[in-house]
Amino acid sequence: MINIKIYSVTELATNCCLLTDEKTGKMAVSDPGDKSDSLIADIKANGNKLEYVMLTHGHYDHIGFAKQLAQMFNAKIVCGKATNEFLSKPELNLSAKHGLEFEPFNADVQLANGDSFMLGETKIKYITTPGHTSGCGCYIFDETIICGDTLFRKSYGRTDLPTGNDEQMIQSLKKLKELEGDYTCIPGHGPLTSLEYERSNNYIMKRV
């Protein structure tokens, strides 16, 4: 079982999550788009047991502090295979578009659809959900999905940026809709939602 704390980072209010396995205290962080002093303090206060930095996709507002955070705690960077190239290409991660300095890096662990890994005693499953970018993916554990910019409350990620694709987005939302049961969904930005709520209220999910 994983405990979750959410921090709002970047000027775009990215939802950055600190995940802590209850039994072992081992931790992971998702989408550290920028430095958060409170996040760092919480990791240190809980024994510096940061194992992974998990990325849902490769835009600057989700990866901006990933390399630094991983180096700080000797953690491994995890992302989908198709996201790795975004980490070293400013034109893909949009840092160039916004005039930001960005040091390229690579993931330590590159996941395929359906792959999983353990955070302490909790299994985290990864599924690919392209559409917002070609490399988007979601992390599923317990009764929670970290959705990145694939799914928002009653909405979904824009598809007009490099490698975005409308049809892929539709198929990705269908994949989420068809998961069994209900989940709390943590989007990349904005309020939390639930999969059951989105099945009934999300414009695309209602039609696929």
Please name which of 150, 106, 142, 148 lies closest in space to residue 125, comparing C-alpha atoms.
142
pLDDT value for 28: 98
CA atoms of 131 and 66, how far apart (whole Å) = 22
pLDDT value for 102: 86
pLDDT value for 199: 97
Residues 30 and 82 sit within 8 Å (Cβ to Cβ): no
Give the torsion through C-alpha atoms of 161, 163, 168, 172, to 10 deg.
-80
pLDDT value for 205: 94
Residues of the chain with pLDDT under 50: none
pLDDT value for 101: 85
pTM for the full predicted model: 0.97
